[in-house]
Structure 1
Amino acid sequence: TLAPDSTLVRVVHARMASDLPKGWEKRISRSTGEPYYLNTLTKESQWEPPKEPASTGTSTKDQVWCSHLLVKHCESRRPSSWRQENITRTKKEALALIKGYREQIVSGKATFEELASQYSDCSSAKRKGDLGTFGRGAMQKPFEDAAFALSVGELSEPVYTESGIHLILRTA
């Protein structure tokens, strides 16, 4: 038998996990040798393969899971990012970029994840814009209000905060 930490087991585990909805891991039971599925948010497990993204089990009124694409401008509270040390674009130019990205996503020319990875001025770009779950009070108020108003799978209109202009995608 293979050790649980062997390279082959890790590679197989990674391949199996990629087919699962967000927030789930496939694991093998030590006692039965059968696969089971772990909700990485709640640490609860189940035998049946999940069909929906993991949730915290709490009311969606309490927590949301979102991704975002941030475009900073010269009036942002910190006009600097991993992409550009000194951001000089105007708020109007930032809005034009955000509207263009939204159009590409809505029209199907690009995915949210592709654009967030390439163009977001937030370090979450390395996670395709994924911010994970958060509750009320964790984000700037305009961002929080927009995120909690979205339905799962819905993309926001441009949202203005002190950080810049955002597109928010509610993922769970």
Structure 2
Amino acid sequence: MSEKVLAVAAGHEITEKEVNDLIKNYPPEQQIYMSSPQAKQQVLEQIIAFHLFHKMAIDEKIPESKEYKEMIEKMQVELASHMAATSVIEGIKVEEAEEKAFYEENPDLFAAKPQVSAKHILVETEDSANDIAKEIADGLAFEEAAKKYSTCPSKEQGGDLGYFSRGQMVPEFEKAAFEGEIGKVIGPVQTQFGYHLIRVEDKKEGSVIPFEQVKDQIHQQLIQNKQKEVYDAKVKELETKYGVERKDV
């Protein structure tokens, strides 16, 4: 069965298969859009233009030009080099035993640190912080107090800082938050930025991320490590075989 011809440009028959093959080169998320008649027509027009310009290049003897031949030679060198380098690292495998060994030997990489979620109000003086704390005790919502009084940009979110682990906040703030009771207003706590009122919203204990959740990540990392080792070793081997003379840059 012959292919359906959608157009003829400069004597070249453009088939439906040629259009579909080009669409297959698009990312998967774009291929859905490209299946519409309007999008297919756009692709067809691109192919038509391609063949028209190719015919123009032939008529103007561009393939016979020095620039064309130099570019082809450069592309051939790059393609051959790429294919040779790919042949060195392709086929490298990592066994599950290696993945598990890496997981067990690097526990710190797969440990979820303890976290605290907190809201805060930042003001310049201790007296101001005490006055605001009294207003909150008398019924003013912590979030409203943050929007009204806090000098921190987080005031727009009611003072919400989200979750953070140790080492992300200044020491005085961090100590108060990690040791504080959930739901209780803490402070004033003085830091280099001023005085804080803090309310701990939630706490997450540290945990170990299961192997199955990070198996793919470990696999890719080990593959890349092996590929680099093999690649670097091959470069050294080829330097010895073919010679390299490095000049001062």
TM-score, normalised with respect to structure 1: 0.51
Counterpart secondary structure, 1:68: strand
Please name the residue that 1:95 is paired with. Answer: 126
Between the aligned partners of 1:127 and 1:137, the Cα distance in structure 2 is 23
Aligned length: 92
Between the aligned partners of 2:182 and 2:197, the Cα distance in structure 1 is 14
The aligned amino acid for 2:132 is: Y
The aligned amino acid for 1:134 is: F
Deviation readout 1:98-143 (Å, 9 max, x if unpaired)? 00000111121x1111110111000000000000000000000000
The aligned amino acid for 1:69 is: I
Aligned pairs for 1:33-44 within 5 A: none
Between the aligned partners of 1:118 and 1:140, the Cα distance in structure 2 is 24
Please name the residue that 1:106 is paired with. Answer: 137
More RCO (CA 8 Å, sep 6+)? 1
The answer to whether residue 159 in structure 2 is matched with residue 129 in structure 1 is yes
Name structure 2 gaps, 5 residues minimum: 1-110, 203-249
RMSD, aligned CA = 1.6
| Between structures 1 and 2, the one with greater helix share | 2
The answer to whether residue 191 in structure 2 is matched with residue 161 in structure 1 is yes
Counterpart secondary structure, 1:156: strand
Please name the residue that 1:62 is paired with. Answer: 114
Between the aligned partners of 1:155 and 1:123, the Cα distance in structure 2 is 20
The ranges of structure 1 where at least 4 consecutive aligned residues each deviate by more than 3 angstroms after the TM superposition are none
Identity, % of aligned positions? 40
Please name the residue that 1:87 is paired with. Answer: none
The aligned amino acid for 2:147 is: S
Specify the structure having the higher radius of gyration (Cα): 2
* Residue 145 (structure 1) aligned to one of 167, 172, 175: 175
The aligned amino acid for 1:115 is: A
